[in-house]
Amino acid sequence: MLHYPKIPSSQHCQLGPCVIFDKLDGTNLHWDWDRDFGWHAFGTRRDRYNLLKAGIAEFEKDHPNLLGAAQLFQPIDLPEGTNQAVLFTEYLGDRSFAGSHHPEDPKRLVVFDAILDNQMLGPEEFLSHFGHLEIPRILYRGKFKGQLLEDIYQGKFDVPEGVVVKGGSGQQLWMAKVKTRSYEERLKARYGSQWRDYWE
């Protein structure tokens, strides 16, 4: 099971209003809340653990490269009337790259998305509820234009990996990711012929 959906490529961008966020190069972690139990579970995109001492120990045994991630999480107030929520954060340090983290770097959690009562938030809803927290930089807010894709790939936006483009809301929500040519070159330099394994 994927706790966060796979973001499609740039061909899924749509005309209309959008928000472009810096795509942080870290590890995706989710944090689960409900009205009865509060913040009670967490994990990576593919697994889930109880947010208790035993669950944290199991998580760190399974993911030694994410040691200390659970301790960074601070409970966040949710909109009034929420019954269930999943908060998504990127875990990273200054030298994180392609899912690996330098052990000496201070790490942080950056909130980048949320599901409230089984509905993924649109970009404007996300900013309204969580924009006061540490979130990815907003690089563009306005009408989507095709030229943006080439500008991103060619490095005209100051981002180390790429961007996530989001538009719409509710059932009309769409997301797409665009990575830079320089990030592609860094992957090839480190991983050689296996670089595509880290591209997605």
- The pTM is what? 0.92
Burial class, 113, CB count within 10 angstroms (exposed 0-12 / middle 13-18 / buried 19+): buried
CB-facing half-sphere around the CA of 43: CA atoms within 13 A: 16
What confidence tens digit (pLDDT) does each residue in 85-104 have?
Answer: 999 999 999 999 888 899 99
Segment 132-158 mean pLDDT = 91
Question: Contact 113/126 with Cβ under 8 angstroms?
Answer: yes
159 in any annotated domain: yes
pLDDT in tens, 172-191: 999 999 888 888 888 888 88
State yes or no: pLDDT of 142 exceeds 80: yes
Q: What pLDDT digit, counting tens, does each position of 12-69 carry?
A: 788 889 999 999 999 999 999 999 999 999 999 999 999 999 999 999 999 999 999 9
- Return the closest-CA partner of residue 176 out of 198, 142, 197, 200: 200
Q: Is residue 4 part of a domain?
A: no
73 within a domain of the structure (yes/no): yes
With pLDDT > 90 as the criterion, what percentage of the chain qualifies?
A: 70
Question: Could you tell me if residue 3 is inside a domain?
Answer: no
Per-residue pLDDT at 160 exceeds 90: no
pLDDT value of position 199: 61
Please give the tally of structural domains in the chain. 1
Tokens of 84: 């269930």
CA distances from 160 to 39, 69, 71, 150 (A): 32, 22, 26, 16
pLDDT the model gives residue 200: 65
Q: Which two tokens stand for residue 29?
A: 């972690």
Distance CA 187, CA 99 (A): 12
164 within domain boundaries: yes
pLDDT value at residue 88: 98
Task: Answer with the residue of higher pLDDT: 173 or 198.
Answer: 173
pLDDT value for 121? 97
For residues 155 and 181, is the Cβ–Cβ distance under 8 A?
A: yes
pLDDT at 76 over 80: yes
Q: Which of 9-13, 24-28, 146-150, 157-161 has the lowest mean pLDDT?
A: 9-13
CATH code of the domain containing 97: 3.30.470
Is 67 among the domain residues? yes
pLDDT at 157 over 80: yes
Domain-embedded: residue 1: no
Domain assignment present for residue 142? The answer is yes
Domain that holds residue 135: 10-198
